[in-house]
């Protein structure tokens, strides 16, 4: 995760695919900035993996053709297509059950909560002596 904050979007998304596409583009831009900063310190990364659970969004990033259903999306949000085509970022599918960010964005039952903190490697402070 690069950043997690809530703010009003500058544009109105007409679908969940569009909303996630815009958010993924923002995450990609932040990841590329961090990649550039790391290269200044001599740490070079080849590709940045972006994990998405929406196959329609993944297809939209990989398809360079403008369709009638996507023509309303502003041009500035399609920069992620260039980053994927250039090989700077790679979009990978992750199953919704394996989506670790749910810990920060959704109400969870105790079993799901414990599973996600275990996957993230967060220490349970109650069990430390």
**Where do the structural domains in the chain lie, given as residue ranges?**
9-94, 97-129
Overall pTM > 0.85: no
Distance of alpha carbon 38 from alpha carbon 44, whole angstroms: 7
- Predicted confidence (pLDDT) per residue in 34-57, tens digit: 889 989 999 888 888 888 888 888
Task: Name the more confident of 102 and 75.
Answer: 102
Phi, psi of 68 (to 5 degrees): -65, -25
Torsion of CA 43, 45, 50, 55, to 10 degrees: 180
The closest alpha carbon to 17, from 73, 82, 95, 98, belongs to 73
3-state helix, strand and coil shares in percent for the chain, rounded to the nearest 5? 50, 10, 40
């Amino acid at each position: 995760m690069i950043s997690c904050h809530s703010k009003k979007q500058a544009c109105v998304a007409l679908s969940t695919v569009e909303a996630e596409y815009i958010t993924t583009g923002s995450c990609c831009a932040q990841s590329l900035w961090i990649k550039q900063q790391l290269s200044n310190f001599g740490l070079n990364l080849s590709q940045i993996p972006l994990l998405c659970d929406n196959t329609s969004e993944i297809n939209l990033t990989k398809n360079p053709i403008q369709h009638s259903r996507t023509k309303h999306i502003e041009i500035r949000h399609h920069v992620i297509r260039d980053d994927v085509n250039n090989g700077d970022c790679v979009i990978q599918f992750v199953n919704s059950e394996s989506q670790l960010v749910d810990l920060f964005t959704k109400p969870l039952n105790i079993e799901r909560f414990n599973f996600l903190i275990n996957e993230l490697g967060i220490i349970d402070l109650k069990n430390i002596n």
